[in-house]
A and B are shown apart, each in its own frame.
Chain A
Amino acid sequence: QKEVEQDPGPLSVPEGAIVSLNCTYSNSAFQYFMWYRQYSRKGPELLMYTYSSGNKEDGRFTAQVDKSSKYISLFIRDSQPSDSATYLCAIPSVNFNKFYFGSGTKLNVKP
């Protein structure tokens, strides 16, 4: 079983839609959870970084962690064409010497 599994997509939505991106993980010891955004021909950039369970909001983005289900989500409200990118969930090992990445979900927001 892989440490992190991500819904592969791709996902195509109209501008203004609410987007939900999801990952599951296998190790209940994981404490920190990250979302990276990767534009075409660029490196992944850190978008959201959360600790333990609960929600974290940053503008139109909300990261949600449900440790009981080992399930993490990223919600994008009022999606914009500029949100079109690949989104990767990432979970560091307990000592941060490994980062487990999901396979990425490619999102296309149509104007």
Chain B
Amino acid sequence: DAGVIQSPRHEVTEMGQEVTLRCKPISGHNSLFWYRQTMMRGLELLIYFNNNVPIDDSGMPEDRFSAKMPNASFSTLKIQPSEPRDSAVYFCASSGQGANSPLHFGNGTRLTVT
């Protein structure tokens, strides 16, 4: 089991640039979550997909943020244009088809916007 795979591990970009974060969930998992973690706010849910369909995007902070899941094995989170306050660690997590399945996290993408 390869676990949830995220890329890149680190991203440094300038304000105004587009940023794309990538996630490959665990094979067979049908739910995918994007979280953002900061010291000030902890873990915040951004968006949740079930069977590749966005179910709850109420945590997406602004229209600058968008997420897609074109198939069961890939998801992207895009920020355009990026701002310094977007600097954080972004985690992708997936959970399985069984009822009451816990979340399995990737190791995150550390984003720095200068």
Chain A residues with CB under 8 Å of chain B are 32, 34, 36, 41-46, 49, 51, 88, 90, 92, 96-99, 101-104
Contacts and interface: CB of A to CB of B under 8 A. Distances in A.
9 contacts: A41-B108, A43-B93, A44-B91, A46-B103, A46-B104, A49-B102, A51-B100, A96-B31, A98-B56
Contacts of B100: 32, 51, 92, 96
Interface residues of B, number: 24
Q: 3 shortest A-B CB distances, which residue pairs?
A: A43-B105, A103-B42, A101-B43
Interface in B44-69: 45, 48, 50, 55-56
B106 A43 contact: yes
Contacts of B104: 46
A44 B102 contact: no
B67 to A, nearest CB: 16
Contacts of A101: 42-43
A43 B23 CA distance: 13
Given A101-B42, A103-B42, A96 B105 contact: no
A96 B91 contact: no
A43 B45 contact: no
Contact of A88 (B43, B45, B95, B102): B43
Nearest to A103: B42
B99 interface: yes
Contact of B55 (A34, A51, A97, A102): A97
